[in-house]
Structure 1
Amino acid sequence: MDAEVIVVGAGPAGLMLAGELRLAGTGVTVLERLGEPSGESRGLGLAIRTMEVFDQRGLLPRFGPLETGNFGHFAGLFLDFGVLDSVHESAKTVPQSQTESVLEKWAFDLGADVRRGTEVVGLRQHADHVEVVVRGSGGTQRLNARYLVGCDGGRSTVRKLGGFDFPGKSSTRELFLADVRGIDVRPRMIGEQVPGGMVMAARMPNGDTRLVMSEHGKPPRPRTEPLGYPEVADTWRRLTGDDISGGEPVWFNAFGNAARQVTEYRRGRILLAGDAAHVHLAAGGQGMNTSVQDAVNLGWKLAAVVRGRNTEDLLDSYHDERHPVGRRVLVNTEAQGHLILSGAETGSLRAVLAELTELPEVRRHLAAMVSGLEIRYDVGGGGHPLLGRRLPHWELTTPDGRTDTTALLHEARGVLLDLRDNPVLRERAAGWSDRIDIVTCGPVSGEDTTAVLVRPDGHVAWAAPGSHHDLTSALTRWFGEPRSH
């Protein structure tokens, strides 16, 4: 094998996955078509769950000072994320280019092999490996890996060559996004309606202005040439009356409101993550949030299979858990798209929704949905309210001093929290101590929970009291057979 795992695409999903695999000791090669980072930043900011995920890997300090806040929106309607159970706020002004830079440096530090200027042009799946044909500066070559993961975006080559079905809805609208330097336009909230369409404008910390615009009656059209800035400026002038033609475009592109999702996230030894598996209208940064979580869900599972600690059945749980999450994102972004892009005819619907968001239950529901905090996987067992959910941030006191549940996940290992100093519990889990950390600590204030088994992705696999299956079954399902002890 040239690599244990080949990851195609050096965006947030691919780089996060590479880091996760290396934390678990799995060899990974990342293939990226572009010779250099594009500098484009479609995603702007980090959702609350992304902040939690990066924190549980110790990555947040690499970003430097972050501007955070508890405000967000659903189709332009204000939401207060402060009602959610998290120690984090969302970061509002982190460009995707910075996120990719941080993740690439992290993956490189862990030993990932990132090869830029390398394009996948063919692949063939065999019984025990995947053969990948690549083209780069050195010509065409063949690489073999035990598994291949496509993280190569909405136009994924891996998805097409791998024969994945990608049903859904095609774009009905075209939108422009542009970061422009040296212009002075008034701020406009996403979804602001003007007579000819929808506009948004926001000043970024570096002084550039982010613009989003869409004209009514302008369906997507095939583009034989790249979008030019004059077309962007003309569209903004028609919609707002403002002349931005003298501005300096940092970058700009056109995108649509297509909503598609593959029917399966895994076909044998080929898997998909991020935009390669699901595309939707960009609304509230959910695309990158979902892509990062795809990678964190898949990484430890794929590593466990590659290392021979689990059977391939564990990989089926990746599809089972993440496909419904992706579907949920498609539904809520499509709903937001109707409200943002349809114009005056949705005014009454928007007014009713604005009234509903005054209700605390509705605000909490929508905030949890768009922030990624509502997710609950079916891990079996039932009963305990934490099962399948991400473990909250708990401050802990151990015999070795104080720590917290976030710090315990830095190495991407499983964690068994013994909250009542139970030697029988610890002995029962001893056979898995090469894969999980067994931590004895004092009770958590306000919690009746006596023990928790946490997966490397931060989700609870077993908890007591209340789980309907025993600890041994949960350990075997998620971490494989115990070693002799």
Structure 2
Amino acid sequence: MQNQSPDIYDVVIAGAGPVGLFLACELRLADLSVLVLEQAQDPYSALKQLPFGLRGLSIPTTEAFHRRGLLDEIVAAQRERSGAIKSAAHWMQQTRRPAGHFAGIQFYQDNIDVAKWPWRLPTPADAGFAIDMETLESILTARACSMGVEIRHGFGVDAIIVSDEDVTVQAAGEIFRGRWLGGCDGGRSTVRKLSGFDFVGTDPEFTGYSVDVELADPDKLGPGRNDTPTGMYTYTQPGTIAMVDFDGGAFHRTEPITREHVQRVLRRVSCTDVTITALRLAATWTDRAHQATTYRKGRVFLAGDAAHIHSPLGGQGLNLGLGDAMNLGWKLAAAIRGHAPADLLDTYSRERHPVGAQVLDWSRAQVAIMRPTPSSRALQVIIRDLIETSDGATYFAERVRGVSLRYDLGGSHPLVGRSAPDFQLLDGTTVGALLRAGKGLLLDFDARAPLRALASGWADRIDYVADEPRDRLGVSALLLRPDGCVGWASDGVPDQGEAAQAASRWFGG
């Protein structure tokens, strides 16, 4: 490395995708200095605009955006492109409203029993939708820049030196120093490799293709999703195709993707003699499922695809990464500010690793019933029957939408570890709006003097709000972490000792 004297940032982040950008915004809420290094010179990619580039946002993701004041902007941007999305996404053209799918087997909104989610209240974050990656990245980039995040494109990380006090990063021939380093640089993460994280899991069974083509005979392909004796493909007009070829992932990133190759695979998978006259855009992917054994090594953290990769089936990868950023940001900020409890940073990996492992298994389970074998086809029939029932649709909705997410924080109250309900106070203010500043929140629905006094001891870290909600769900008081997770709750007369212990656990002494 060259001898230079670069600026020292509180945090250097590798990767200017949605996860890195959202993490940077979270850190800027605490007024920290943040540098984002992005390998790509130009973040624009035509693939990000295509229909198969659409990503469905889960409830934890939309809640996070709601709590940071981003949701309205994202919804508005999505509506501007809604015409293109509807024309391309076959599942948005159905008369019966789909609510998601498992390996292409859809479940529907009218089958979901929301009464089984008694801890939820109506919120703008409940409106599920899909957005293209370019639009999302543009919004997050604008937000990051407006908050003072420094972003440098064309700076891929080449080397890292970690000491007890800081991290030195070499990128594009320049040297940067940060007190901490966040690896948000994707599935082939350089930060992960250079830092020596173990990355373990299962190898791929197929090569997936997402292509935009011109067809001489489009009527030979069935619209929507099609299972065949040799694989699966999804076809939407005017020429967008996704397909999987169970070749053990042999073709992924091994050769240039040509029209002739895509045509051979499409004919084999679709069992037709369809002809491709032009290949406009193409990308491959696999069902490789790997995860870092820990998300932290000293002063280096991993988030997003750098920490976990799996097939894009069900579109949960983006949501998983954004959840990582929301969980890590406030904890890292607290550590830098000097008021984090001793083990707060370790709770990031402890809470998020099991969530990632569960998503990887969810992906593997989908692959298991997609195989073009008699046993997998038989299993599909059973899943279709189950998913059509109310209990089945509700279960799959809980998993796909992230409604069932709950961190194991201990405590007996059923809300602890869950995302806080979006309580609406009598003046119309919601919990989502009260969390915009990225601080903790003590909600006291009975305006008890002891809780007000307790909150004053953390006035710089916890906002205290005493008001009556329109629906309190039987709760009298709650302590929320900056990410909106319930850290403590009470139904009756609050236990001051428990409340104080929870405040110390999450916000320090």
TM-score of the pair, normalised by structure 1: 0.90
Q: Following TM superposition, by how much is the alpha carbon of 1:343 offset from its aligned partner in structure 2, in angstroms?
A: 4.0
Q: Secondary structure at the match of 2:428?
A: strand
Structure 2 CA distance, aligned partners of 1:301 and 1:47? 22
Q: Following TM superposition, by how much is the alpha carbon of 1:92 offset from its aligned partner in structure 2, in angstroms?
A: 4.1
Query: Who is 1:102 aligned against?
Result: 139
Query: Who is 1:197 aligned against?
Result: 231
Picking from 415, 421, 430, the partner of 2:456 is 430
Change (3 A) 1:307 1:392: same
Residues 85-234 of structure 1 mapped to structure 2, 5 A cutoff = 85=120, 87=123, 88-89=125-126, 91-135=128-172, 140-180=173-213, 188-190=223-225, 192-203=226-237, 209-217=239-247, 219-221=249-251, 223-234=253-264
Query: Who is 2:413 aligned against?
Result: 384
Q: Following TM superposition, by how much is the alpha carbon of 1:89 offset from its aligned partner in structure 2, in angstroms?
A: 4.5
Picking from 380, 400, 414, the partner of 1:370 is 400
Change (3 A) 1:255 1:193: same
Q: Following TM superposition, by how much is the alpha carbon of 1:70 offset from its aligned partner in structure 2, in angstroms?
A: 5.4
Change (3 A) 1:157 1:74: same
Amino acid at match of 2:100: G
Tell me which stretches of 4 or more aligned residues in structure 1 moved more than 6 Å: 466-469
Residues 356-386 of structure 1 deviation map (CA, whole Å, 9 limit, x = unaligned) = 2233233222211111221111223x22111
Q: Following TM superposition, by how much is the alpha carbon of 1:447 offset from its aligned partner in structure 2, in angstroms?
A: 1.6
Say if 2:99 and 2:397, in contact at 8 Å, map to a contact too: no
Amino acid at match of 2:228: V
Q: Secondary structure at the match of 1:389?
A: coil
Residues 46-71 of structure 1 deviation map (CA, whole Å, 9 limit, x = unaligned) = 22322222122111222215458652
Say if 2:252 and 2:285, in contact at 8 Å, map to a contact too: no
Residues 4-153 of structure 1 mapped to structure 2, 5 A cutoff = 4-39=10-45, 40-41=47-48, 42-63=53-74, 64=76, 65-66=78-79, 71-80=99-108, 83-84=113-114, 85=120, 87=123, 88-89=125-126, 91-135=128-172, 140-153=173-186
Residues 387-414 of structure 1 deviation map (CA, whole Å, 9 limit, x = unaligned) = 00001222212xxx32011111222211
Q: Which has the higher strand share?
A: 1
Q: Following TM superposition, by how much is the alpha carbon of 1:83 offset from its aligned partner in structure 2, in angstroms?
A: 3.8
Say if 1:177 and 1:211, in contact at 8 Å, map to a contact too: yes
Amino acid at match of 1:338: A
**Unmatched runs of 5 consecutive residues or more in structure 1:** none
Residues 333-482 of structure 1 mapped to structure 2, 5 A cutoff = 333-380=363-410, 382-397=411-426, 401-445=427-471, 447-465=473-491, 470-481=498-509
Q: Following TM superposition, by how much is the alpha carbon of 1:74 offset from its aligned partner in structure 2, in angstroms?
A: 1.0
Q: Secondary structure at the match of 2:235?
A: strand
Picking from 263, 277, 288, the partner of 2:307 is 277
Change (3 A) 1:70 1:357: closer
**Aligned pair count?**
467
Q: Which has the higher helix share?
A: 2
Amino acid at match of 2:206: R
Say if 1:274 and 1:288, in contact at 8 Å, map to a contact too: yes
Say if 2:370 and 2:377, in contact at 8 Å, map to a contact too: no
Amino acid at match of 1:198: M
Picking from 278, 283, 286, the partner of 1:256 is 286
Query: Who is 1:266 aligned against?
Result: 296
User: RMSD of aligned C-alpha atoms?
Assistant: 2.3
**Unmatched runs of 5 consecutive residues or more in structure 2:** 1-6, 83-91, 115-119
Identity %: 38
Structure 1 CA distance, aligned partners of 2:213 and 2:140? 26
Amino acid at match of 2:199: F
